Structures are given as C-alpha cells and as structure tokens.
C-alpha cells in the first residue's frame, strides 16, 4: 500500500470516530458504484449525510477543505441518489458534509468537519 | 458562523463616500465572494487579501466567506478597501475582537507579504471619514503625513497587517520603530497659510530676469493681485513664457483651507511630493499643446482623475502656444472658467473637481511668428532701429492666415480673458541698460499681497477672496465704481467693442487696479486703464 493510501485510511478512520462523537450514525463506508465512491454514509436524525473525507500531510498544495471543488460536490450529490436507489431508504433531507484531516509535521492530526456544503 | 463589520471610504472625484464592509463566514465550500459593484482592481483584492493574511501568520478561514460593500449601488474602484476587507474577515473569523473594529476607518492596499501599501487620495478620504463621524483612521505608514493634515483626526499609521492586528488585539503601537504609530491630525506646519512671506521661491526664477516689457509686467502684477486671466501675445523670444513661468513667484501663499483643497486634488492625482505633502504655494500647471481634453479637464474610464485645470486649482494654468491646442480642448475650459469646477458624469456617478484657476495664455500673432506688433504704427521708434535683422524680417503670412490663426482662440474664450497684452520685441537699450531698474519678484509680491489684503478686507463676510471671483450681480449691487467712472465703458459699449460680460470683467479689473494703487474706489482713470487692458495693450 502506498504511503498516501495509508494516510487516507488513517484519515477516514479519524473522520468516522469524529462523526460518531458528534452523534452521527455511520451507515456505510467506502461504498462504490460505477460513478465513483462515497467515503462515509451516515445519518443524523432524519437526514442522510454523504461525507467526503480529505486527508493531507501538509498545506503545500492547499488545505484539505480547499481541495473540495464545486464539481466534486456535484458528483457527491449524484452518488447520494445512487446510494438511496440502491438501498431504498427514505430520508427527509440529503446533506453533503466534508471532513478535512490534516497531519502536522509533528505527526498530530487535526479534524475539521464542515456541515452542509451544498 | 459570524459576521463582522468595518468601514472605509470610496472616492468619487475628491468627494469621499462612507462604505460599510461586511464579512460573513458560513459553512460551505471554501470560497471568497466579493459583492457590491467592485471593479477589476477591487475584485483582485480576493487574491491579495488571502496571501496577505496567510503571510501575516494568520489562519485563513476554511469556510465560505461573503464580503459585501455597501451601499451596493455605488461603484467601488481601486485597492484602498484591502485593509478594511482583511480586518473584516479576521473579525468574522473571531480572531479579532469585533468591538474593536466598530468605530475605525480603514484605508490602504495590501501587498502579498502583508505590507500596507500607500494609496492615492488619502487626504480627501480621511477628511470624509472625519465628516462621517469617525475619530480614528488606519492608513498605511507612507500615507500618514498626508492623513495627519486633516484637523481633529487620530491617525493610526501601520506598515504591515501583522502590526495593525497586534494593535487591534489591544497591544500598544510600538513607538517609532517598525509597526504602528499614532499621529495626531491637524498639526499644520507653522509656515503654512496666513499672511506669511509671499511668493514661491523657485530657484533660478525671478521677475527681475525679464527685461523690458513694462506693460506686460504690470499686467502680470494686476492678474496676480486680482486673479484675472491673462493673454500674452507676441513674437517668439520676447519673454512670454518667461513671464508666465515667473507669475507664481509673485503670488501669495495659499490660505490653510485652500492649501488643503489643492493638496486633496493632487492627492487623488498622485502628484504630491513625498515627505512634506501639504502644498502651500499656488500650483503652476503647464500642459503641452498636444494635451487631450481628458488631460485638461479630467477623466478616465476607471478611476476618474483630475485634469490640468483642477491641478491648477487656486493657482495658474498656463497654455503656451495656445492656438496650437485643439479647439475642443480650449472650449472645454469655458465651463470651469465660468463655474470654478469640472463636472464629469460617468455610469452611476458624477465626479466634481474644483477648478478655480488663473488662466494664462501665450500665443504668437501668426503661424510664421515673425510679425512684430500688429502693424507699423504700433512699433515704437526706439524698437525699430534696435531690432535685430531676424525679427525685422516681415511676416510672410497672408492676412487670412493670421486672422485664422488667432481665431482658433474662440471669441467666447477670449471674452473671458480679462487682460490681453501684446509684447513687442525688446530694444537694445532696454536689454542692456534696463536691468538695474527691473523689480525683483519679492518687491512685486509685496504689492500683490497688499492689494489682495485690501480686496479681502472689502470682501470680508463673503465667500469670495479675489476681485475676479465676485459674481456680476453682486458686483453691480455692492461694488460699483465711483459716479461717472463708467463713461469710457459706455463709449466702448456704444461702439460694440465690449460684451455685457466684458463690462463686468472690466469693472472687476478696475477694482484690482484701484487696490494696487491704494485708491478706495475705481475712478475714470482706473476704469480706462482696465478697459485698455481688456481690449489689449501693447507693451
């Protein structure tokens, strides 16, 4: 496994723990379909939360949150519909969240959770 | 998340408008949105501000940031909002106490490294801030001397965003060294304004250097004393340009209020000298005859800049080789000559620049410029024998060409010129022996100063300071010459030599002649002399 993939795994694990502490129920992880992959599918009360995790080991190429573009958000919306169709569960609301995980030079991780980016 | 509010000033001409900057941070994709009619330079502020904040070791909020500039209908241009926007964003991110921003005004451009870079138009902007009720203004350190010219303002001069933030967080501005410093406004240099010694001392320029031309000297003195417009007509090399360039040396210094007005215009134009920014001498502006209309009256599609007419406010606008200026440029001067200001309309705004200047025109009598006087009769006998060969060669222009050349100065424009002087070639006797009798600028400046004081005393309680500024109605009501003094004017009117406006102008001129002579009220002598100057006198 590549170093970047190990970092990504670690970031996703931290994100899941962070979301659980925040009171979200994790429904699914790394769900794949023809259109792509959803990192985390969770539920908060009656809302479906599609969560993208971005992990970086430095801000040289921008912060993790800056890496989420409008195109990425639109793709996550399509994936959300795909997941709903595949699972046949009804929700009042669909929400896209982003979790940015940043590893500092000293090796510590910081997690930033942004709710409802679109 | 949070909302923060700061204040800045948008300049339209030399008029400042209060602009409120709001920054709102909310969840969403990371972005900075700028709304409220920004122009290109202001839209680029997004990138400057981000770099400046990060390079000042502050955290850039990883959220969706909306910055609104209101009133939204007012077009906002330039980079002077950078500091206000940066501080508003940091206030919304709650890294700055929002309460510390409420009554501050921010003006300045940010460099990518977080430096505060100087901007143009700080003086009128700070004056507008004070008028809008703001006591403390933050400006780039390089602009501090200019900002401190405004009475009653506290200026916080910062050279970088980080030192400004340190101060906003409750720190003390580091005295002297790097960082921020506080200037107290309104401490005008003691030598400015008021009845100080008159005359700008331009090295190498003195009226004494101009030999001969007694009538022209006298005319220049009268124009300086009363603020009248002057036309200098004559062949090349007789001293027209020399005389015009020396006119500032006999003008008194600007009064404090006028000095601030003049400095504000030059501040917007970016022509202030660094260091000691207050202009205390009347400005002298001599645009080249290829100048465009926009260069003379002001203009520009983005930021509206003042033209030469406004840069010469309270001073002299000298048009050398006046007939060579394009006709629409000359005629564009009619409006400021009449109203004392330039009004420029653009999409969504109207800019006003004050433009009260003394117009100096210099012209050759014809294109070949060898004409000596307007005819043989006008040439003095002494001049005839002493003139060098080159000047004696007769003018080769046909009469039509001569007439057409001077006709480029349109009638309505010449009607507004109070004094017209014709220069004659200087004779040998004058050139060689007259030098010891020519008066230096300092002597003439004293007489001008006295005459101006006499006029100011008579006009006390009114808005006017100079005879040339008195409107016609007021002139006839309160300042009519002695009984019977208008006889020469009546004759000229009967002969159709003078317009109604011309009559008013001659009366104003007569008052200045009387002021210079120490006469209480113009008599027939002064009015005749003034009429002679208006119709054109041969030197």
Local confidence pLDDT in tens for the 539 residues of chain B: 589 999 999 998 889 999 999 999 988 888 899 988 788 878 888 889 999 999 999 988 888 999 999 998 888 888 899 999 999 999 999 988 877 888 899 999 999 999 999 999 999 999 999 999 999 999 999 999 899 889 889 999 999 999 999 888 876 554 444 567 788 776 554 444 344 444 455 566 888 888 778 888 899 999 999 999 999 988 888 888 989 999 989 999 898 889 999 999 999 998 888 776 788 889 999 999 999 999 999 988 777 899 999 999 999 999 998 988 998 898 889 889 888 899 988 877 888 999 999 999 999 887 776 654 444 333 333 333 334 444 445 677 787 887 788 888 877 888 888 898 888 777 776 676 666 677 888 889 999 999 999 999 998 888 888 888 888 888 888 888 888 888 888 888 888 888 888 888 899 999 999 999 988 889 999 999 999 888 876 54
Find, among B479, B468, B480, B501, the residue nearest to B224 by Cα.
B468
Give the pLDDT of residue B315: 92
Q: Give the tokens for residue B411.
A: 């009638």
* pLDDT tens digit sequence for A2-14: 888 889 999 999 9
| Among B350, B344, B358, B346, CA closest to B309 | B358
Predicted local confidence at residue B195, as pLDDT: 40
d(CA B344, CA B41): 22
* CA-to-CA separations, A118 to A15, A115, B35, B425, in angstroms, rounded: 19, 9, 20, 84
Q: Tell me the residue range of the domain where B231 lies.
A: 207-468
Does residue B60 fall inside a structural domain? yes
Residues B161 and B233 in one domain: no
Q: From the CA of B26, how many Å to the nearest CA of chain A?
A: 9
Q: Is the distance from CB of B138 to CB of B105 less than 8 angstroms?
A: yes
CB contact under 8 A, B29 and A70: yes
Given B418, B435, B468, which residue is the final one in a domain? B468
**Can you list the positions of beta strands (E) in B98-171?**
104-106, 109-110, 116-117, 136-140, 154-158
CATH code: domain of residue B292: 3.40.50.300
Q: Looking at residue B86, what is its pLDDT?
A: 95
**Same structural domain, B131 and B219:** no
CB contact under 8 A, A112 and B29: no
Q: Which CATH class is domain A3-114?
A: alpha beta
Spatial strand order in the sheet of A109-114: A25-33, A36-44, A47-56, A93-103, A109-114
pTM for this prediction: 0.81
Task: Give the per-residue pLDDT at B187.
Answer: 55
What pLDDT score does A90 carry?
87
B141 and B105 fall within a common domain: yes
* Shortest Cα distance, chain B CAs vs residue A1, angstroms: 30
- Contact list in B for residue A69 (CB cut-off 8 A) is 29
Q: What is the pLDDT of residue B212?
A: 77
CA angle B512, B515, B516 (to 5 degrees): 90
Per-residue pLDDT, B381: 35
* B177 burial via Cβ count (<10 Å: 0-12, 13-18, 19+): exposed
Q: Which of B143, B97, B104 is nearest to B18 (CA)?
A: B104
Residue B166, judged by CB atoms within 10 A of its CB (0-12, 13-18, 19+), counts as middle
- The two tokens of residue A41 are 């599918």
Task: Name residues whose C-beta falls within 8 Å of residue B305's C-beta, 6 or more positions apart in sequence.
Answer: B268, B269, B298, B299
Among all chains, which residue has been given the structure tokens 């580091």? B174
Write down the pLDDT at residue B161: 93
d(C-alpha B365, C-alpha B59), whole Å: 70
Domain count, chain B: 2
- B-chain CB neighbours of A65 within 8 Å are 30, 62
Judging contacts by C-beta atoms under 8 Å, the chain B residues touching residue A117 are 27-29, 64
Whole-number Cα distances in Å, B478 to B40, B141, B524, B527, B530: 53, 50, 18, 17, 19
- Select from A68, A73, A114 the Cβ nearest to the Cβ of B27: A114
Q: How far apart are CA B281 and CA B266, in angstroms?
A: 13
CB B159, CB B116: distance < 8 Å: yes
Helix (H) or strand (E) holding A11: helix A3-21
How are beta strands B358-363 and B316-319 bridged, if at all? parallel
Contact B299, B269 (CB under 8 A): no
Q: Are residues B356 and B451 in the same domain?
A: yes
Distance from B28 to chain A by nearest Cα, in Å?
4
Contact in structure between B29 and A117 (CB atoms under 8 Å): yes
Question: Which of B129, B151, B184 is at the close of a domain?
Answer: B184
For residue A62, what is the nearest residue in chain B, using CA coordinates? B62
Same domain, B170 and B222: no
Cβ of A116 and B30 within 8 Å?
no
End-to-end Cα separation, chain A, in angstroms: 33
Whether chain A has a CB inside 8 Å of the CB on B59: the answer is: no
Residues of chain A contacting residue B27, judged by C-beta atoms under 8 Å apart:
114-117
Query: With contacts defined as CB-CB under 8 Å, which chain B residues touch A118?
Result: 28-29
B372 occurs within a structural domain: yes
**What does the domain layout of chain A look like in residue ranges?**
3-114
pLDDT at position B2, please? 87
Q: Please tell me what DSSP assigns to residue B419.
A: E
Tell me which residue in A112, A115, A117 faces B29 most closely, judged by beta carbons: A117
Nearest CB partner across the interface for B27, out of A66, A100, A115: A115
Closest-CA residue to B268 (of B57, B89, B13, B466): B13
What is the DSSP secondary-structure string of B316-378? EEEETTGGGS-HHHHHHTHHHHHHSEEEEEETTEEEEEE---EEEEEE-SSSS----SSSGGG
Whether B30 has its CB under 8 Å from any CB of chain A: the answer is: yes
Task: Based on the fold, state whether residues B157 and B217 are members of the same structural domain.
Answer: no
User: Given B417, B440, B468, which residue is the final one in a domain?
Assistant: B468
Distance, CA of A59 to CA of A56 (rounded, Å): 7
**Predicted local confidence at residue B178, as pLDDT:** 52
Note the residue count of chain B: 539
Give yes or no: residues B411 and B379 share one domain.
Answer: yes
Q: Does B57 touch chain A (CB under 8 A)?
A: no
DSSP string, B427-465: PHHHHHHSGGGSPPHHHHHHHHHHHHHHHHHHTTTSS--
d(CA B481, CA B492): 17
Neighbours of A103 (CB within 10 A): 18
* Nearest-angstrom CA–CA distance, B88 and B7: 9
- Token code pair at residue B529: 């002399």
CB contact under 8 A, B28 and A115: no
A68 → closest Cβ in B27, B29, B60:
B29
Task: Specify whether B110 is located in the same domain as B244.
Answer: no
Distance CA B240, CA B137 (A): 47
């Amino acid at each position: 496994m590549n170093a970047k993939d190990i970092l990504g795994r670690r970031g996703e694990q931290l994100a899941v723990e962070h979301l659980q502490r925040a009171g979200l129920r994790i429904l699914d992880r790394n769900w794949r379909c023809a259109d792509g992959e959803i990192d985390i599918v969770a539920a908060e009360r009656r809302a479906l939360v599609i969560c993208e995790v971005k992990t970086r080991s430095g801000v040289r190429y921008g912060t993790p949150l800056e890496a989420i573009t409008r195109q990425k958000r639109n793709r996550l919306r399509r994936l959300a519909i795909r997941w709903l169709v595949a699972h046949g569960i009804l929700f009042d609301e669909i929400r896209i969240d982003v979790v940015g995980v940043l590893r500092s030079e000293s090796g510590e991780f910081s997690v930033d959770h942004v709710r409802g980016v679109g | 998340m949070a909302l923060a509010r700061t204040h800045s000033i948008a300049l339209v001409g030399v008029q400042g408008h209060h602009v409120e900057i709001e920054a709102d941070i909310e969840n969403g994709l990371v972005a900075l949105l700028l709304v409220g009619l920004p122009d290109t330079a202001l839209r680029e502020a997004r990138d400057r501000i981000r770099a400046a904040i990060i390079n000042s070791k502050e955290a850039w909020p990883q959220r969706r940031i909306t910055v609104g500039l209101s009133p939204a209908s007012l077009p906002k241009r330039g980079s002077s909002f950078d500091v206000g926007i940066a501080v508003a964003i940091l206030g919304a991110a709650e890294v700055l106490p929002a309460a510390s921003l409420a009554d501050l005004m921010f003006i300045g451009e940010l460099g990518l490294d977080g430096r505060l870079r100087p901007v143009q138009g700080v003086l009128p902007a700070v004056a507008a801030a004070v008028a809008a009720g703001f006591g403390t203004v933050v400006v780039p350190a390089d602009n501090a001397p200019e900002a401190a010219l405004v009475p009653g303002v506290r200026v916080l001069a910062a050279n970088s965003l980080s030192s400004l933030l340190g101060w906003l967080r409750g720190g003390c501005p580091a005295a002297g060294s790097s960082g921020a410093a506080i200037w107290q406004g309104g401490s005008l240099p003691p030598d400015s304004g008021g009845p100080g010694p008159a005359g700008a001392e331009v090295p190498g320029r003195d009226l004494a250097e101009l030999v001969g031309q007694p009538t022209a000297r006298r005319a220049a003195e009268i124009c300086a004393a009363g603020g009248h417009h002057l036309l200098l007509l004559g062949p090349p090399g007789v001293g027209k340009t020399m005389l015009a360039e020396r006119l500032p040396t006999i003008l008194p210094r600007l009064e404090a209020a006028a000095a601030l007005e003049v400095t504000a215009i030059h501040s917007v134009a970016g022509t202030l000298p660094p260091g000691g920014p207050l202009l205390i001498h009347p400005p002298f502006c001599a645009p080249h005859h290829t100048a465009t209309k926009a260069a003379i009256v002001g203009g520009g599609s983005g930021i509206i800049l003042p033209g030469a007419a406004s840069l010469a406010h309270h001073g002299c606008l000298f048009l050398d080789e006046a007939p060579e200026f394009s006709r629409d440029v000359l005629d564009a001067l009619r409006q400021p000559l009449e109203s004392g200001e330039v009004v420029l309309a653009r999409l969504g705004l109207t800019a006003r620049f004050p433009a009260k200047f003394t117009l100096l025109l210099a012209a050759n009598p014809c294109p070949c410029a060898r004409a000596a006087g307007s005819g043989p009769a006008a040439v003095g006998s002494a001049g005839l024998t002493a003139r060098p060969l080159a000047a004696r060669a007769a003018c080769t222009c046909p009469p039509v060409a001569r007439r057409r050349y001077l006709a480029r100065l349109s009638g309505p424009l010449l009607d507004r010129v109070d004094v017209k002087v014709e220069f004659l070639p200087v004779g040998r006797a004058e050139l060689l022996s007259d030098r010891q009798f020519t008066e230096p600028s300092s002597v003439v400046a004293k007489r001008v100063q006295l005459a101006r004081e006499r006029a100011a005393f008579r006009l006390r309680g009114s808005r006017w300071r100079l005879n040339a500024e008195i409107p016609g109605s007021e002139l006839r009501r309160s300042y009519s010459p002695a009984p019977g003094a208008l006889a020469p004017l009546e004759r000229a009117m009967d002969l159709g030599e003078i317009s109604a406006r011309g009559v008013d102008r001659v009366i104003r001129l007569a008052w200045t002649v009387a002021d210079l002579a120490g006469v209480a009220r113009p008599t027939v002598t002064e009015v005749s002399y003034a009429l002679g100057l208006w119709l054109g006198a041969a030197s």
